[in-house]
Amino acid sequence: MSIQVFGLPVSRGVAIGRAVLVASSRVDVAHYFVPVDRIDHEIGRLRGARDGVATELQSLKHELPPEAPAELAALLDVHLMLLHDEALITATKGWIRERHYNAEWALSAQLEVLARQFDEMDDPYLRERKADIEQVVERLLRELAGQAGDEAPATAAAAKAMRDVAGEDPLVLVANDVAPADMMQFKRSVFTGFVTDVGGRTSHTAIVARSMDIPAVVGAREASRLIRQDDWVVIDGDAGVVIVNPSRIVLEEYRFRQRQSELERARLDRLRHTPAVTLDGEVVELLANIEMPGDAPSALDAGAVGVGLFRSEFLFMNRGGDLPGEEEQFEAYRAAVEALQGLPVTIRTVDVGADKPLERMSQQELRHEHGLNPALGLRAIRWSLSEPGMFRQQLRAILRAGAFGKVRILVPMVAQMSEVRLIFEALARARQQLDDAGRAYGPVEVGAMIEVPAAALLVERFLRHFDFVSLGTNDLIQYTLAIDRADEAVAHLYDPWHPAVLQLIARTIACARQSGRGVSVCGEMAGDPAFTELLLAMGLRSFSMHPARIASIKQRVLRVDTRRLAAHLEEVLASDAPQAALTQLQAGSWPH
């Protein structure tokens, strides 16, 4: 019987093959109390497991083939960093010493604590980092149980067993989740796509899938329970649908779509280094969003003409109280700048706070229970200004990286003119400190992220001080509509097509252009082809997105005449249903 399973489309294309079903490899945890005289021994077991997993991960990283995506090595580094994170290991030792829990029980208890903290985070990218903690704990539990290192990873073992049964048939992986450390096996295997029960659009499995350009559907909930070993499976990575045991007609239809998709990918690949110029000669800047210096080569390879958003908070997260110093930050920023070979790099100052807490923050700063909304708390630039020493340290590191290439500073969540004054005072102080120390630094442009309605309404005033602005559409939608994206009860109301949202975006772009200042969009809208024509009609000429989206957006850009688009902009913005109005106009080929 044919069934359909629905999830989130995270990597385009169609994959067809027999299912390799990999059950969750989480180890059953024993629960018992450790006598006082065995506590040190139990902590030694934990330390030994940590060292064993670290060795395993380092070996996996060392054995990465040259063609492996940069994201994979970076994700292995994340897991290595988590292994030594005070919030995990030191706190687990506390459970052993204070509660006399055995190592497995202590790890599980601390995982529950951390999982709750991640679930309360507002940022979807950081919230989904909970999966990294879970995968690291799973490896530690396997090591404690004597399983790690004695057998191949579950994905590889399952693939081998399945190949013996399926012969030459293509294979797709079905699992509860796929750990980044196992992605090397995935890369070398015969899998043509994968389905996971959990995950989101910004989960690591989704990121790696996009970097490998492999069709994938995540968050399919019951997929691993409903799909049986050796079932024929179709993965529709465009629609987020998984079809199990399709009929012959459906199977042939998807095989045709698969061939068409492969041809389309080949055509898009040829556009990678084609200049993004509209039919009427407007040059459009397509930039990349990155999280770490190692992402820079991938951005160049995708055809990006710079980095429009370097999320510097990646350097600060999951480190316990050991935050990166000026030198460590400088080396990271310089590596990204040098990798871009003269192209611009926009570094966003650290975006942490009540919803993305650092371990060094005080309990008062972290307190967001009892109905308080962390999205409205001490975060982003508010937190940076409350930690002036840390803020100036980051500014000095960015300024120093500016001596090695074109660097821009982007400040998140600016909403007050008083914040603008304090930002530039901090910059002046950072420059003075570098002068006093005899340190070289370069010129930098300074921009503000427009993420709250107040900023969009005050953008003319902001532009008297800032060199450019960048629209963070994800937060702008959330704050404009008063919708918590993490709350499933209202998530369906999160609407990027809402007229109020579009009017704020159009206003920001128009004001920036009138002021002769730069303006870009770095939220999800930038990488969504459904919005490309509308944003171009508004006058946007700079888009920043995940590198994997650049070719498809470039294809849209090359096919449009911005003058004809702009002539119908007011008609779309005045509509109660802008998406329907745009679709209707597009169906008429944007008549004169």
CB 194 within 8 A of CB 175: yes
3-state DSSP assignment of residue 412:
coil
Q: Is 311 annotated as a binding residue?
A: yes
**End-to-end C-alpha distance for the chain, whole angstroms:** 51
**How many whole angstroms separate alpha carbon 33 and alpha carbon 28?**
16
Active-site choice (368, 511, 522, 568): 522
Residues with Cβ within 8 Å of residue 108, at least 6 apart in sequence: 29, 137, 141
Q: Could you confirm whether 511 is annotated as catalytic? A: no
Number of residues that this document lists for the chain = 592
Instruction: Compute the half-sphere exposure of residue 590: CA atoms within 13 Å on the CB side of its CA.
Output: 16
Q: Is 177 annotated as a binding residue?
A: no
Q: Is 18 annotated as a binding residue?
A: no
Q: Which residue has the tokens 């340190």?
A: 439
CB 274 within 8 A of CB 558: yes
Q: Is 549 annotated as a binding residue?
A: no
3-state DSSP assignment of residue 179:
coil
Backbone angles phi, psi at 470, to 5 degrees: -135, 125
Q: Could you confirm whether 273 is annotated as catalytic? A: no
Residues with Cβ within 8 Å of residue 301, at least 6 apart in sequence: 272, 547
Tokens representing residue 508 in the block? 């920001």
How many other CB atoms are there within 10 angstroms of residue 586's CB atom?
A: 13
Degrees (nearest 5) of the Cα angle 237, 266, 70? Answer: 70
Nearest CA-CA partner of 85 in 46, 29, 142, 133: 133
Active-site choice (79, 204, 368, 568): 204
Instruction: Please state the residue numbers annotated as binding site for Mg(2+).
Output: 451, 475
Catalytic residue numbers? 204, 522
Instruction: Please state the residue numbers annotated as binding site.
Output: 311, 348, 451, 474-475, 485
Instruction: Please state the residue numbers annotated as binding site for phosphoenolpyruvate.
Output: 311, 348, 474-475, 485
